């Protein structure tokens, strides 16, 4: 028996969840052997794989063999290809995301697949969703009129069966609408195996043929299933197919994340509609931070370079990615300059070779987060108390890449996030008064940071102390700083000030993750 057939493939397993053996060759061989088979439907399924937020996408080709509905499911992930061919539910924990009728042979799919097997898995550029979408779009939608009844009479290799007589005289649009959803019902039909449908608002479908037809018609009517022309890629609304990204986009309005493609192809559950109530799941802020952290390293860090490692919850993902790529051998000969003790410790734990500016003061690139980013890519930094080391390191880098989620964007620096300033402890109250009197900072309220230096909340009684043994004063503004460059210059000229969190004219590019996707501003 071929590897990957239903008796050997783990049901529901997916590459992204850690399949051990890449089955590329076995899959191509399997498709070649089934070269004359005709797949009648192609579908993309998705299933939650991480805290119910990030989905894994699976490609499913459906066909009939020995009068049973079967599916060839293909998973793509960081461990390669994995497949299963059988009459079982292709994704027991998943839902149909997109689905269309087609007429494509096993050999054609084999050839389409061969054209992409050279590509390496890439979380941002070639992940499971992008693979599924690519393969899905390779196959033209073909309306054949072969509805649920005609499929009783069709079988593997039979590409010419006419539509069942029952459809004669029925309006074509009705037939198309019915065919649109009938396959979901067909999964439930005992004659077609044990696959259960997952159709939103219809948890328990009647298995009889008549109720299936009525149910299909009613569902088509009430959910407004697309009565579109053949050849179009039609997608039912979110209510009809839970988690349908395109449907969700069409209905989403402006709340939350509106589409998987809008987020650089990273798999996102956009919307689930069950029981008439929309349950929208957006990517968590951490997930957005991870995306930009990973992308910055993937796009800007090369082997043999000296890099600056920023500080904070976003930069930590970039550090993680560097460690991962060094471990896998994808990156070699990196020397990193950390911008805080926290980052140093993280980098050490990941085996990243470290140095200081004393020995390596020409950096190729530095990657760091920010607390605020204005339209000119001026920044406020230092929410985590690391502004001095960040600035001295990032000033030495040929490229300074800023990574943020869109919550950090602002029209003007100041009111959205207090500007941190590192001052020496000696006579710090005097220094704070001097700062408050600076013309370019007019109207600011200086607040000494207490407790944990890594945040600007008053979570202690003692002054927060930086890695350099200094204090932080957070400057609160009620209106935007009109001239951040002048503000920075005046702060820097104040005796007692070590450095400040205004990072002006330093940013090479800013990678931003948000509901419109990942964008890079430079
Ligand atoms: O001192 C901390 C740094 O300036 C951080 O880059 C900044 O606070 C952003 O941190 P996070 O990515 O955790 O929001």
Task: Kindly give the distance from the C-alpha atom of residue 371 to the centroid of ligand 1, in angstroms, as a whole number.
Answer: 6
Q: Output the domain CATH number for residue 363.
A: 3.40.50.1360
3-state class (DSSP) for residue 139: coil
From 320, 342, 370, 454, the mutation candidate for ligand 1 (largest count of ligand atoms within 8 A of CB) is 370
3-state class (DSSP) for residue 41: strand
| Candidates 156, 287, 390, 394; catalytic one | 390
In total, how many domains does the chain have?
A: 4
For residue 144, what pLDDT is reported?
A: 52
Q: Summarize the confidence of residues 480-505 as an average pLDDT.
A: 97
Q: Are residues 309 and 377 part of one domain?
A: yes
**Structural contact between residues 494 and 459, judged by C-beta atoms closer than 8 angstroms:** no
**Of the residues 78, 104, 125, the one at which a domain ends:** 125
| Short-list 314, 340, 374, CA closest to 505 | 374
Alpha helices in 245-284 (DSSP H): 245-251
Structural domain contains residue 288? no
Q: CA-to-CA distance for 62 and 42, rounded, in angstroms?
A: 6
Q: Are residues 445 and 383 part of one domain?
A: no
**Structural contact between residues 382 and 390, judged by C-beta atoms closer than 8 angstroms:** yes
For residue 48, what pLDDT is reported?
A: 72
Task: Kindly give the distance from the C-alpha atom of residue 307 to the centroid of ligand 1, in angstroms, as a whole number.
Answer: 18
Q: Pairing state of beta strands 471-476 and 419-423?
A: antiparallel
Task: Kindly give the distance from the C-alpha atom of residue 369 to the centroid of ligand 1, in angstroms, as a whole number.
Answer: 5
Top pLDDT among 63 and 427 is at 427
Q: Tell me the per-residue pLDDT of 304-329, one tens digit each, with 9 for 90 and over.
A: 999 999 999 999 999 999 999 999 99
For residue 244, what pLDDT is reported?
A: 25
Task: Kindly give the distance from the C-alpha atom of residue 456 to the centroid of ligand 1, in angstroms, as a whole number.
Answer: 11
**Nearest CA, atom 10, ligand 1:** 312
pLDDT grade for 153, boundaries at 50, 70 and 90: very low
| Short-list 415, 446, 436, 443, CA closest to 490 | 436
Distances (CA, A) of 9 to 42, 44, 51, 391: 20, 19, 25, 53
Q: Summarize the confidence of residues 471-476 as an average pLDDT.
A: 98
**Of the residues 75, 97, 125, the one at which a domain ends:** 125
Q: Which atom of ligand 1 is nearest to the CA of 386?
A: 1
For residue 97, what pLDDT is reported?
A: 83
3-state class (DSSP) for residue 489: helix
**ipTM (interface pTM):** 0.98
Q: Summarize the confidence of residues 55-77 as an average pLDDT.
A: 87
For residue 47, what pLDDT is reported?
A: 81
- Which segment of 23-27, 117-121, 169-173, 206-210 scores lowest on mean pLDDT? 206-210
Structural domain contains residue 521? no
Q: Tell me the per-residue pLDDT of 73-84, one tens digit each, with 9 for 90 and over.
A: 999 988 889 999
> Does the pLDDT value for residue 274 go beyond 80?
no
> Does the pLDDT value for residue 29 go beyond 90?
no
Q: Tell me the per-residue pLDDT of 405-462, one tens digit each, with 9 for 90 and over.
A: 999 999 999 999 999 999 999 999 999 999 999 999 999 999 999 999 999 998 899 9
**Nearest CA, atom 7, ligand 1:** 370
Task: Kindly give the distance from the C-alpha atom of residue 322 to the centroid of ligand 1, in angstroms, as a whole number.
Answer: 18
Q: Are residues 276 and 133 part of one domain?
A: yes
Which of 167-201 are b and which e, b meaning 16 or more Cβ less than 10 Å from the residue's Cβ?
beeeeeeebbbbbbbbbbbbbbbeebbebebbbbe
Tell whether the torsion through CA atoms of 155, 159, 160 and 166 is positive or negative. Answer: positive
**Structural contact between residues 10 and 36, judged by C-beta atoms closer than 8 angstroms:** no
pLDDT grade for 54, boundaries at 50, 70 and 90: low
| Short-list 515, 520, 488, CA closest to 502 | 488
Burial class (CB in 10 A: 0-12, 13-18, 19+), 400: buried
Which residues lie closer than 8 Å to 161 by C-beta, 6 or more apart?
146, 150, 153, 154
Q: Are residues 144 and 118 part of one domain?
A: no
Q: CA-to-CA distance for 361 and 117, rounded, in angstroms?
A: 42
Q: Are residues 400 and 275 part of one domain?
A: no
Top pLDDT among 441 and 69 is at 441
- Which segment of 281-285, 341-345, 410-414 scores lowest on mean pLDDT? 281-285
User: Interhelix angle for 24-33 vs 106-114, to 10°?
Assistant: 150
Which residues lie closer than 8 Å to 171 by C-beta, 6 or more apart?
none
> Does the pLDDT value for residue 24 go beyond 80?
yes
For residue 417, what pLDDT is reported?
A: 97
| Short-list 232, 282, 223, 226, CA closest to 252 | 282
From 285, 315, 498, the mutation candidate for ligand 1 (largest count of ligand atoms within 8 A of CB) is 315
Q: Are residues 350 and 309 part of one domain?
A: yes
For residue 436, what pLDDT is reported?
A: 97
Q: Summarize the confidence of residues 329-341 as an average pLDDT.
A: 97
Tokens representing residue 107 in the block: 């050999």
- Which segment of 20-24, 113-117, 149-153, 375-379 scores lowest on mean pLDDT? 149-153
Distances (CA, A) of 291 to 46, 54, 296, 464: 20, 12, 9, 31
Q: Are residues 82 and 101 part of one domain?
A: yes
Burial class (CB in 10 A: 0-12, 13-18, 19+), 256: middle
3-state class (DSSP) for residue 284: coil
β-partners of residue 404 are 512
For residue 191, what pLDDT is reported?
A: 35
Structural domain contains residue 291? no
Q: Which atom of ligand 1 is nearest to the CA of 404?
A: 12
For residue 282, what pLDDT is reported?
A: 63
Tokens representing residue 255 in the block: 């709340």
Q: Are residues 372 and 319 part of one domain?
A: yes
For residue 51, what pLDDT is reported?
A: 54
**Nearest CA, atom 2, ligand 1:** 384
Q: Which atom of ligand 1 is nearest to the CA of 390?
A: 4
CA dihedral 33, 39, 45, 49 (to 10 degrees): -10
User: Percentage of the chain surpassing pLDDT 70?
Assistant: 68
Top pLDDT among 245 and 65 is at 65
Q: Are residues 121 and 138 part of one domain?
A: no
For residue 53, what pLDDT is reported?
A: 54
Which residues lie closer than 8 Å to 163 by C-beta, 6 or more apart?
144, 145, 146, 147, 150, 175
Q: Tell me the per-residue pLDDT of 369-384, one tens digit each, with 9 for 90 and over.
A: 999 999 999 999 999 9
**Nearest CA, atom 12, ligand 1:** 314
For residue 360, what pLDDT is reported?
A: 97
> Does the pLDDT value for residue 395 go beyond 90?
yes
Residues with CB under 6 A from ligand 1: 310-315, 368-371, 381-387, 390
CA dihedral 78, 72, 235, 260 (to 10 degrees): -10
**Structural contact between residues 268 and 258, judged by C-beta atoms closer than 8 angstroms:** no
Structural domain contains residue 520? no
Task: Kindly give the distance from the C-alpha atom of residue 255 to the centroid of ligand 1, in angstroms, as a whole number.
Answer: 26
Structural domain contains residue 522? no
β-partners of residue 96 are 45
Q: Which atom of ligand 1 is nearest to the CA of 501?
A: 4
| Active-site annotation holds for 390 | yes
What is the end-to-end Cα distance of the chain in Å, rounded? Answer: 55
Task: Please count the other Cβ atoms lying within 10 Å of the Cβ belonging to residue 28.
Answer: 18
pLDDT grade for 61, boundaries at 50, 70 and 90: very high
pLDDT grade for 385, boundaries at 50, 70 and 90: very high
Top pLDDT among 444 and 15 is at 444
Q: Are residues 277 and 303 part of one domain?
A: no
Tokens representing residue 57 in the block: 């996408």
For residue 363, what pLDDT is reported?
A: 98
> Does the pLDDT value for residue 337 go beyond 70?
yes
Q: CA-to-CA distance for 450 and 464, rounded, in angstroms?
A: 5
pLDDT grade for 251, boundaries at 50, 70 and 90: very low
- Which segment of 129-138, 292-301, 347-356 scores lowest on mean pLDDT? 129-138
Q: Are residues 7 and 149 part of one domain?
A: no
| Short-list 105, 15, 22, 26, CA closest to 61 | 105
Please report where in the chains the tokens 């600007």 appear, as a residue: 456
For residue 413, what pLDDT is reported?
A: 97
Give this prediction's pTM.
Answer: 0.52
Top pLDDT among 101 and 261 is at 101
Mean pLDDT for all residues in the chain: 75
Domain that residue 65 falls in = 1-125
Task: Please count the other Cβ atoms lying within 10 Å of the Cβ belonging to residue 105.
Answer: 18
Task: Kindly give the distance from the C-alpha atom of residue 380 to the centroid of ligand 1, in angstroms, as a whole number.
Answer: 9
Q: Which atom of ligand 1 is nearest to the CA of 368?
A: 6
Which residues lie closer than 8 Å to 391 by C-beta, 6 or more apart?
381, 499, 503
Q: Are residues 351 and 426 part of one domain?
A: no
> Does the pLDDT value for residue 137 go beyond 60?
yes
């Amino acid at each position: 028996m071929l590897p990957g057939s239903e008796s050997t493939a783990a049901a529901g397993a997916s590459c992204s969840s850690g399949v051990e053996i890449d089955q590329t060759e076995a899959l191509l061989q399997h498709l070649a052997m089934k070269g004359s088979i005709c797949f009648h439907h192609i579908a993309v399924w998705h299933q939650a794989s991480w805290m119910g937020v990030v989905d894994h996408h699976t490609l499913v080709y459906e066909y009939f063999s020995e009068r049973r509905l079967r599916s060839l499911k293909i998973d793509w992930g960081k461990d390669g290809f994995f497949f299963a061919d059988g009459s079982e539910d292709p994704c027991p924990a998943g839902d149909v995301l997109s689905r269309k009728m087609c007429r494509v042979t096993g050999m054609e799919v084999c050839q389409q697949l061969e054209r992409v097997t050279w590509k390496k898995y890439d979380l941002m550029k070639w992940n499971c969703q992008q693979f599924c979408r690519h393969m899905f779009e390779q196959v033209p939608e073909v309306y054949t009129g072969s509805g649920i009844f005609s499929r009783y009479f069709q079988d593997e290799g039979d590409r010419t069966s006419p539509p069942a007589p029952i459809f004669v005289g029925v309006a074509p649009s009705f037939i198309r609408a019915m065919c649109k959803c009938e396959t979901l019902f067909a999964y439930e039909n005992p004659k077609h195996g044990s696959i259960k449908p997952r159709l939103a608002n219809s948890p328990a479908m009647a298995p009889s043929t008549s109720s299936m037809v009525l149910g299909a018609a009613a569902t088509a009517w009430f959910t407004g299933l697309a009565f579109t022309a053949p050849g179009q890629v039609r997608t039912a609304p979110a209510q009809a197919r839970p988690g349908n990204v395109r449907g969700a986009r069409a209905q989403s309005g402006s709340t939350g994340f509106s589409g998987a493609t809008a987020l650089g192809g990273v798999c996102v559950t956009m919307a689930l509609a069950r029981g008439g109530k929309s349950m929208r799941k957006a990517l968590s802020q951490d997930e957005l931070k991870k995306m930009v952290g990973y992308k910055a390293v993937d796009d800007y860090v090369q082997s043999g370079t000296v890099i600056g490692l920023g500080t904070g919850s976003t930069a930590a993902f970039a550090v993680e990615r560097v460690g991962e790529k060094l471990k896998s051998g994808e990156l070699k000969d990196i020397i990193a300059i950390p911008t805080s003790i926290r980052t140093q410790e993280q980098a050490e734990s990941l085996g990243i070779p470290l140095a200081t500016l004393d020995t390596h003061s020409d950096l190729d690139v530095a990657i760091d987060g920010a607390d605020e980013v204005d339209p000119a890519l001026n920044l406020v930094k230092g929410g985590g108390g690391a502004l001095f080391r960040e600035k001295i390191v990032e000033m030495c880098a040929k490229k300074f890449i800023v990574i943020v989620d869109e919550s950090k964007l602002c029209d003007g620096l100041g009111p959205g996030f207090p500007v941190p300033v590192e001052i020496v402890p000696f006579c710090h109250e005097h220094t704070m008064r001097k700062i408050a009197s600076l013309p370019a900072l007019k109207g600011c309220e200086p607040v000494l940071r207490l407790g944990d230096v890594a945040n600007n909340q008053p979570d202690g009684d003692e002054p927060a102390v930086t890695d350099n043994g200094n204090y932080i004063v957070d400057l609160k503004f009620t209106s935007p700083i009109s001239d951040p460059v002048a503000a920075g210059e005046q702060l820097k000229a104040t005796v007692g000030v070590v450095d400040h969190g205004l990072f002006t004219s330093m940013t090479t590019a800013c990678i931003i993750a948000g509901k419109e996707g990942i964008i890079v501003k430079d």
